[in-house]
Chain A
Amino acid sequence: MQSCRRWPYHPLVQVQLSHPARIVEVKGPKKVKDLLRELNLPVEAHLVIKGDDLVTEDEMLYDVDKIEIRPVISGGSPLTPHPSRFTDSDDLHQM
């Protein structure tokens, strides 16, 4: 994997990542699932977008492709509160 352009310029697969937002470049051709594995990103927690379309894990990425790997996980809502705070309606009707 390369993190910056080399000179003389050779096109690579441009990969947009989140958390933190950054762009990395990788050498193609490469299967989507192999790229996710190399980046240690679980398939179940990510989607790969090329243009306006989703890309399946078996698809091949080539140099000059531009893709986004979008994390799909959200949610910081609390787990059920500790029983010591089991004192009002909010706690009784956890959603």
Chain B
Amino acid sequence: MICTKCKTKAVIGLPRHNAAFCKGCFNGFVHDQVVRAIKSEKMFGKEERILVAVSGGKDSLALWDILLKLGYRADALYVDLGIGGYSEQSHAKVTKFAEAAAASHGATLHLHTVEQEAGAGIKELAQLIHRPTCSTCGTIKRYQFNRVAVEQDYDVMATGHNLDDEAARLLGNVLHWQEEYLEKQGPSLPASVEGFAMKVKPLFRLSERELAAYAILNRIDYIVEECPMAKGAKMLQYKDVLNRLETESPGTKQMFYWGFLEKQSKKQPTATTMSEKDRAVLHPCSSCSQPTTAEVCSYCKMMARAKTHSSS
């Protein structure tokens, strides 16, 4: 296979773009896709401070790497979930990247350890509140990333969600006709109310395979093992179905998700009305002041139960 741009030996073929690239041209392609995402969705500028949510996986570390190489001011936050050896390994990968690559750009790594605050790891917390582990994980990560972004005055919070993540989530929402969630499936969510950081997904134009290739080609040492808590997760099933379709019919995932975004932009309300809706139902949590629809937010409820449990 020959590189579409420079005609040297290619290292990866991209059927959905009817192209193949050598390492140098592939890096250029990836950077270009991220720049296009940032500009088209008006995510942030070169002067703004970005907080990247990193997990030790390929997507988040690649995102941090790309933003720094593109000259953005990007720090990162890692949340240690306390999943035994898996968390130890992912923590080590993040620390290694921060010291070896990010520090030279003047970037900082923040750390939050769930066990230090809650006295238990994610698995025990999930059992305590009778919710699936992945759901509990999501609650903790969203809360902590938002908290650090707001408290430390970051302009925007960036996550490593890619095209596969968004297409799989869209498929899940459509299969269950959860129309009320479609409005917030865009790659850029405004800071709709006081206490919410703006959230963006600069990798939404890139597939999971492209990001893994970027990490491997750029020697980013990421955690390859799947989270032990994710076994059997519906997201993985949806991704598998979409990848089988994509292999047979290249471009399926981007047509599905980008097509959805295009339709949304034509008929959906603007960010302003999304903010208006949020303002109508949200108020500060009586315990921590983060926005919630309830008296006390679900994170504070969970921590209260954890503390009661550990003291009994």
Per DSSP, chain A at the interface is loop
How many interface residues does chain B have, given as a range? 35 or more
Measured between beta carbons, the chain A residues less than 8 angstroms from B246 are 42, 44
B137 within 8 A of A: yes
In Å, the complex CA distance between A56 and B143 comes to 41
In Å, the complex CA distance between A71 and B57 comes to 13
Name the residue on A nearest B168 (C-beta).
A75
Measured between beta carbons, the chain B residues less than 8 angstroms from A95 are 142, 159, 161, 189, 199, 201
Measured between beta carbons, the chain A residues less than 8 angstroms from B59 are 74
Question: Across the interface, do B58 and A74 meet the contact criterion of CB distance under 8 Å?
Answer: yes
Question: Across the interface, do B11 and A54 meet the contact criterion of CB distance under 8 Å?
Answer: yes
Tell which of A56, A83, A90 touches B1, judged by Cβ atoms closer than 8 Å.
A56
Question: Across the interface, do B138 and A47 meet the contact criterion of CB distance under 8 Å?
Answer: no
Question: Across the interface, do B13 and A42 meet the contact criterion of CB distance under 8 Å?
Answer: no
Tell which of B161, B212, B278 touches A72, judged by Cβ atoms closer than 8 Å.
B212
Tell which of A45, A57, A77 touches B243, judged by Cβ atoms closer than 8 Å.
A45
In Å, the complex CA distance between A56 and B240 comes to 21
Give per-residue flags for B214-250: 1 if the beta carbon is below 8 A from chain A beta carbons, else 0.
0011000000111101110111100110011011000
In Å, the complex CA distance between A91 and B243 comes to 28
Tell which of A47, A53, A87, A92 touches B278, judged by Cβ atoms closer than 8 Å.
A92
B293 within 8 A of A: yes
In whole Å, how far is A51's beta carbon from the nearest beta carbon of chain B? 11
Question: Across the interface, do B209 and A72 meet the contact criterion of CB distance under 8 Å?
Answer: yes
Question: Across the interface, do B240 and A73 meet the contact criterion of CB distance under 8 Å?
Answer: yes
In Å, the complex CA distance between A91 and B139 comes to 8
Name the residue on B nearest A54 (C-beta).
B11
Question: Across the interface, do A76 and B227 meet the contact criterion of CB distance under 8 Å?
Answer: yes
In Å, the complex CA distance between A77 and B135 comes to 7
Name the residue on B nearest A81 (C-beta).
B135
Give per-residue flags for B28-64: 1 if the beta carbon is below 8 A from chain A beta carbons, else 0.
0000000000000000000000000000011100000
A58 within 8 A of B: yes
In Å, the complex CA distance between A47 and B214 comes to 11
Question: Across the interface, do A49 and B216 meet the contact criterion of CB distance under 8 Å?
Answer: yes
In Å, the complex CA distance between A91 and B136 comes to 12
In Å, the complex CA distance between A12 and B222 comes to 29
Question: Across the interface, do B243 and A78 meet the contact criterion of CB distance under 8 Å?
Answer: no
Measured between beta carbons, the chain A residues less than 8 angstroms from B10 are 56
Question: Across the interface, do B58 and A93 meet the contact criterion of CB distance under 8 Å?
Answer: no
Measured between beta carbons, the chain B residues less than 8 angstroms from A49 are 216
In Å, the complex CA distance between A47 and B180 comes to 36
B291 within 8 A of A: yes
B100 within 8 A of A: no
In Å, the complex CA distance between A38 and B298 comes to 47
Measured between beta carbons, the chain A residues less than 8 angstroms from B234 are 79
Measured between beta carbons, the chain B residues less than 8 angstroms from A83 are 178, 180
Give per-residue flags for B123-167: 1 if the beta carbon is below 8 A from chain A beta carbons, else 0.
000000000101101110011001000000000000101001100
In Å, the complex CA distance between A23 and B178 comes to 42
Question: Across the interface, do A56 and B292 meet the contact criterion of CB distance under 8 Å?
Answer: no
Question: Across the interface, do A47 and B212 meet the contact criterion of CB distance under 8 Å?
Answer: yes
Give per-residue flags for B49-91: 1 if the beta carbon is below 8 A from chain A beta carbons, else 0.
0000000011100000000000000000000000000000000
Q: A75-B165, A76-B233 are in contact. Are A90 and B224 (CB under 8 A)?
A: no
Q: A75-B239, A77-B134 are in contact. Are A90 and B281 (CB under 8 A)?
A: no
- Pull 7 A–B residue pairs with CB atoms less than 8 Å apart, ordered by A: A42-B243, A56-B12, A70-B212, A73-B239, A80-B178, A89-B290, A92-B282
Identify 11 new A-B residue pairs, CB closer than 8 A, beyond the known A56-B10, A87-B298: A18-B225, A56-B1, A70-B212, A73-B240, A79-B234, A79-B235, A80-B178, A80-B181, A83-B180, A90-B139, A93-B189
Residues of chain A at the chain B interface (Cβ within 8 Å)? 18-19, 42-47, 49, 53-59, 70-81, 83, 86-95
